[in-house]
C-alpha cells in the first residue's frame, strides 16, 4: 500500500474506532484484548498516537525526552471519564495524522525495528489503528472485516517486523510455515535459520505447515483475535499452533 492509502486508513480507522467505542458501554469487555474495557482501548490508542506523533514531530532519534501523558477523567463518573479519554484520543489521532502528512516519509526517526524512518511509522500506525478499530467494533457487537488489500499488507507487516523482531527471544520454530491469502495477493514462507531465528520470504513454496484463508482471517489469527481454526491448516497442526502462539502480539 502506498503512503496516501496508509494515511487514509489511519484517518478512517481512527474515526471509526471512536464511533464504535462511543456505541459500546465504556466498561464493556474488548474480546481481542483481555482485561481491557472499551475505555482502556480508547486510552491505549490515544497513548500510542501521542507517542508516535511526538516522535515524528520532534524527529526524535532517541525518544528518552518523551513524557507519558496522564489519563484524563480519573476522578469523574464513568461516562464523563470516558468522554475525556475519547476527546484525548480524537485530538491525538488528528495530530498524528497531521504530522505524518506534513513530514517527508524518508525523515529519520527512532523505531524499534531496523527501519528508522517516518514511512515505517505511517505504516505501523495505519495497521495498529485498523486492528484496534476491529477491537472497538467487536466491543460494540459488530463483526467488522478489514479490506483484503489492507489485511494482506497487515500480514506482510506482521511477518516482516513483529515475528522476527518482537519474538526473537522465543524458541525457534521446529519447521517451515507457509501463509496464503485467498482473496488478495499475498504468500509468505517462514523458515527457521541457522542462527536460531527465522527468515520470511514472499514466495509460493511447500512447507511443513500451511495456513490458508482470507487476508482478514489470517491477520486476526496472527494477532490472536481469532482462533487458528478460522483458517484452513495443512500439514503439521502442532507446528502451526506453535507458530501462531510464538509472537508477542499484545
**With contact defined as beta carbons under 8 Å apart, do 22 and 85 qualify?**
no
Q: Quick one: cell of 248? A: 508477542
Q: What is the pTM of this model?
A: 0.94
Sheet holding 232-235, edge to edge: 198-201, 187-192, 177-181, 209-213, 232-235
Domain of 68: which CATH number?
Answer: 1.20.120.450
Q: Which domain holds residue 231?
A: 166-245
**With contact defined as beta carbons under 8 Å apart, do 155 and 186 qualify?**
yes
d(CA 74, CA 211): 44
Is 91 inside a domain boundary? yes
Q: Quick one: cell of 11? A: 484517518
Give the pLDDT of residue 249: 42
Same domain, 22 and 119: yes
Same domain, 114 and 28: yes
Same domain, 181 and 124: no
Same domain, 104 and 11: yes
Is 154 inside a domain boundary? no
Give ∠ CA 117-57-94 in degrees, rounded to 5: 105
Give the pLDDT of residue 173: 87
Is 50 inside a domain boundary? yes
Burial 71-93 (b: 16+ CB within 10 A, else e): ebbeeeeeeebbbbbbebbbebb
Same domain, 16 and 135: yes
Residue in the structure block whose three cell numbers are 526524535: 60
User: Going residue by residue through the chain (250 aa), what tens digit of pLDDT does each one get?
Assistant: 999 999 999 999 999 999 999 999 999 999 999 899 999 999 999 999 999 999 999 999 999 999 999 999 888 999 999 999 999 999 999 999 999 999 999 999 999 999 999 999 999 999 999 999 999 999 999 999 999 999 999 999 999 998 876 555 677 889 999 999 999 999 999 999 888 788 999 999 999 999 999 999 999 999 999 999 999 999 999 999 999 987 554 4
**With contact defined as beta carbons under 8 Å apart, do 161 and 227 qualify?**
no
Q: Phi, psi (5° rounding) for residue 78?
A: -55, -50
d(CA 46, CA 41): 9
Give the pLDDT of residue 250: 41
> What is the number of structural domains in the chain?
2
Within a 10 A sphere around the Cβ of 138, how many other Cβ atoms? 20
d(CA 144, CA 21): 13
Q: Quick one: cell of 70? A: 496522564
Max Cα-Cα span within the chain: 57
Same domain, 45 and 116: yes
Q: Is 48 helix (H, G, I), strand (E, B) or coil?
A: helix
Amino acid at each position: 500500500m502506498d503512503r496516501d492509502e496508509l494515511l487514509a486508513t489511519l484517518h478512517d480507522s481512527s474515526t471509526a474506532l471512536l464511533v464504535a467505542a462511543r456505541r459500546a458501554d465504556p466498561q464493556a469487555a474488548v474480546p481481542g484484548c483481555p482485561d481491557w474495557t472499551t475505555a482502556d482501548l480508547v486510552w491505549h490508542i490515544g497513548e500510542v498516537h501521542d507517542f508516535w506523533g511526538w516522535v515524528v514531530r520532534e524527529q526524535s532519534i532517541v525518544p528518552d525526552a518523551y513524557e507519558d501523558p496522564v489519563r484524563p477523567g480519573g476522578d469523574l463518573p464513568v461516562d464523563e471519564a470516558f468522554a475525556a479519554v475519547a476527546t484525548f484520543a480524537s485530538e491525538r489521532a488528528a495530530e498524528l495524522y497531521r504530522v505524518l502528512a506534513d513530514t517527508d516519509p524518508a525523515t529519520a526517526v527512532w523505531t524499534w525495528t531496523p527501519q528508522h524512518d517516518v514511512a515505517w511509522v505511517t505504516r505501523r500506525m495505519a495497521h495498529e489503528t485498523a486492528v484496534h478499530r476491529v477491537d472497538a467494533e467487536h466491543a460494540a457487537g459488530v463483526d467488522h472485516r478489514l479490506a483484503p488489500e489492507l489485511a494482506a499488507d497487515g500480514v506482510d507487516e506482521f511477518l516482516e517486523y513483529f515475528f522476527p523482531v518482537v519474538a526473537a527471544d522465543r524458541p525457534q520454530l521446529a519447521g517451515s510455515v507457509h501463509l496464503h491469502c485467498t482473496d488478495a495477493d499475498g504468500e509468505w514462507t517462514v523458515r527457521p535459520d541457522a542462527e536460531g531465528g527465522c527468515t520470511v520470504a514472499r514466495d509460493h513454496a511447500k512447507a511443513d505447515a500451511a495456513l490458508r484463508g482470507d487476508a482478514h482471517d489470517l491477520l486476526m489469527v496472527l494477532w490472536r483475535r481469532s482462533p487458528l481454526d478460522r483458517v484452513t491448516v495443512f500439514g503439521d497442526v502442532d507446528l502451526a499452533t506453535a507458530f501462531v502462539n510464538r509472537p508477542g502480539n499484545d
